[in-house]
A and B are shown apart, each in its own frame.
Chain A
Amino acid sequence: MKSCIKFISFTLLFLSMFVSKAWAEKVTVITPYLAQPGTQMYVEGFKNEASKKGWDLNIIDTKGDVAEVISRIEDAVNQKVDGIVINVDPSQIAAGLEVAAAANIPVVGMDSGADPLLVTNVTSNGYAMAAETSVYVANRIEGKGNVVMFVFDAFPPVQIRGVIADAVFGNFPDINVMDRITPDVQDGGIADSRAKMEALLAANPEAGSIAAVWAAWDQPAIGAMQAIEAAGRSNEGIVIVGIDANPQARDAISQGGNFEASIAQDFVGIGSATANAIGRAMSGEEIKSKVIYVPTVLITSANVGN
């Protein structure tokens, strides 16, 4: 019996030596939001770059649980990885960042928000994106009319978009923000946004009573478009804009309907830029800027085909 156990444990030990790969830099990516399409594209860009560099990569999804991000950072630190990438508001995981800092393991934010404990944060310029789409709306409706906003203040990168749009619309005396809706995002945000928009349309039956819909990301914009179509009011000229320019949004824009514009973030580019940043940090280079911006493009029917 004893010798049997000994044999098994030695075999396992022997095998496990083969399992752990030959020496490679270990990088762990931790995100609570892997189910989101945007996040998947970051990760895709990151993976491409990481495989070029030959890293031993571990991608962890905590499915919305922020505290678990801290736990997994602790595990990664304990495992003595060479670098950590996070995709969540750094102020909420300060406990984990401190542990990493104490172990001298660099942590880079991938579209997460800036924090002193991060080497740097790679992102799109959310202020600029929101400014571009809200100004587009204001110009299209010639500075007057009722605007519906879809926002999501719980997620900081989206929250700042709302702030900018508030400021832009507030600067036009004849633009009235008639509702500032936070949709339920558990199913992705389309269905609930559509329901909320339908209710709003029902409450404002006259043509022209809603001039535009500004959405802080694409899903609510698509939901609003569906609601407008279902209500048979697509010929009222309601202007819809989103942010992110996901495939569904691009498709809608190319139809030339109410959904007129969105901003394309370069998610894959953010992913690969993040990989470059963590690579530089791991090699000991000091990165001066706490934020690295990756350029964005306004998508309209004019350039959607490209």
Chain B
Amino acid sequence: MKILNLIKKYGTLIGFFGIIIFFTINLPSTFLTAKNFINISQQISMLAVVAFTMTVVMVMNDFDLSVGSMASLAGIVAAVLFSMGYPIWIGILAALFVGIIGGLFNGFLVSIIGILPFVATLGTLTMFSGFAFLISGGRTIFGRDIPSEFSSFARSGIEISSLGLKIPFLSILALLILFIVWFILEQTTYGRRLYAIGGNTEASFLAGIKVKQLRLSAFALTGVGAAIAGLMYSSRVASSNPTQGSGLMLEAIAAVFLGMTMSEEGEPRVLYTLLGVLILGVLDNGLTQMNVDSYIREVLVGFIVILAVAFSSITKKRN
């Protein structure tokens, strides 16, 4: 009985360790190494940033489907400014600014106008993507247009010479964002209020929470997160492509959902989102190394996400 409760509560976590054990056995020399895990941390860093900041709106039971195209747009904005000869910091600031404005626009549609987040952000998804194509003329901006200082960020890190390892800046940045989001959600009154809105919007309003303003600002945070991820992506591929972020949105939502299976009452928690992101990243990494066909890999990942969520909703219902 106790074991059953343990599985109910930590099913997803147990599944995660199961996956790790499976890969360790099948890839004995290459999987469970510090270097591989540093690789994974770098590979998932962009997805992680989007998923962490996506958690902020999902805490309020909202969604942001536009994060992927925001990531594309932010990367394009920075790259276009680079190609026009502006310094790096201006490009980065402009991209972040675009993230805030886009996020505020989402928040405006959802909280002030009152459109369902699904519909509103579906609309802005297309809009942002359109802007990205418009500004770039549909081109991938690459080569000399991207300053090498910008792209080298994604290739450098902090050397730990004693171990012969390098902790990539991308991973460190993702960790930093994790800490910030964790701090905002778990340690501030702002986060407390967001959770209250998620718990019961009407009750929160009557209890004196400024629901409209808070939703607006939360969407802005998610927008900035998407923009940061877009910049990270551009730096990693030393280029900006108007469709570069399109894969991020679905995986980010999947990661948050995976994380939600682990919390007591099914609410999103950013540390659990991290675990969701790790599961996705480890599966991609391990299955690639096992030479599993990329399409089968995709089917498997989708199946595992469904399995985790189904398992948790079944066991929680029985409770």
Contact = CB atoms under 8 A, between A and B. Distances in A.
B298 to A, nearest CB: 8
Interface stretch (B106-114, B181-189, B206-214, B230-238): B230-238
Interface in A37-76: 56, 58-68, 70-72, 74-76
A159 B239 CA distance: 16
Interface string B234-252: 0011110111101100000
Given A91-B143, A155-B140, A66 B237 contact: yes
A60 B137 contact: no
Contacts of B242: 154
A12 interface: yes
Nearest to A153: B139
Contact of A182 (B137, B284, B285): B137
B200 interface: no
Nearest to B148: A94
B239 A153 contact: no
Chain A's interface: helix, strand, loop or mixed, by majority?
helix
B289 A153 contact: no
Given A60-B288, A91-B143, A65 B25 contact: no
Contacts of B246: 64
B43 interface: yes
B239 A91 contact: yes
A175 to B, nearest CB: 23
Contact of B25 (A16, A91, A182): A16
Interface in B283-314: 284-285, 288-289, 291, 293-295
B180 interface: no
A95 interface: yes
A13 interface: yes
A104 interface: no
B35 interface: yes
A61 B296 CA distance: 11
B39 A78 contact: yes
A133 B42 CA distance: 44
Interface residues of A, number: 41
Given A16-B25, A95-B155, A67 B233 contact: yes
Nearest to A1: B3
Nearest to A88: B237
A89 interface: yes
B289 A16 contact: no
B145 to A, nearest CB: 10
Given A65-B247, A79-B30, A58 B237 contact: no
A71 B151 CA distance: 16
A182 B138 contact: yes
Interface residues of B, number: 42
B74 interface: no
A202 interface: no
A142 to B, nearest CB: 32
A98 interface: yes
B154 interface: yes
A9 B237 CA distance: 39
A75 B43 CA distance: 10
Contacts of A79: 27, 30, 288-289
A62 B35 contact: no
B21 interface: yes
Contact of A67 (B26, B143, B236): B236
B241 A66 contact: yes
A12 B239 contact: no
Contact of A9 (B21, B36, B137): B21
Interface in A206-237: none
Interface in B61-86: none
A204 interface: no
A13 B288 contact: no
B239 A58 contact: no
B238 A63 contact: no
A13 B142 CA distance: 45
A85 B218 CA distance: 43
A74 B137 CA distance: 31
A164 interface: no
Contacts of B30: 78-80
Contacts of A200: none
B39 A92 contact: no
B289 A78 contact: yes
Nearest to B39: A74
Nearest to A14: B25
A220 B143 CA distance: 27
A16 B26 contact: yes
B36 A70 contact: no
6 contacts: A19-B26, A56-B291, A68-B247, A74-B43, A78-B36, A92-B238
Interface of B: 21-22, 25-28, 30, 33, 35-36, 39, 42-43, 46, 137-140, 142-143, 151, 154-155, 233, 236-239, 241-244, 246-247, 284-285, 288-289, 291, 293-295
The list of the 8 closest CB pairs from A to B, nearest first, reads A71-B43, A92-B237, A92-B239, A58-B291, A75-B288, A154-B140, A16-B26, A182-B138
Interface of A: 9, 12-13, 16, 19, 34, 56, 58-68, 70-72, 74-76, 78-80, 89, 91-95, 98, 152-156, 159, 182
Given A91-B142, A155-B140, 18 more contacts: A12-B22, A34-B294, A64-B246, A67-B244, A68-B43, A70-B236, A78-B289, A79-B30, A80-B30, A91-B238, A91-B239, A92-B140, A94-B151, A153-B138, A154-B140, A154-B241, A156-B140, A159-B139
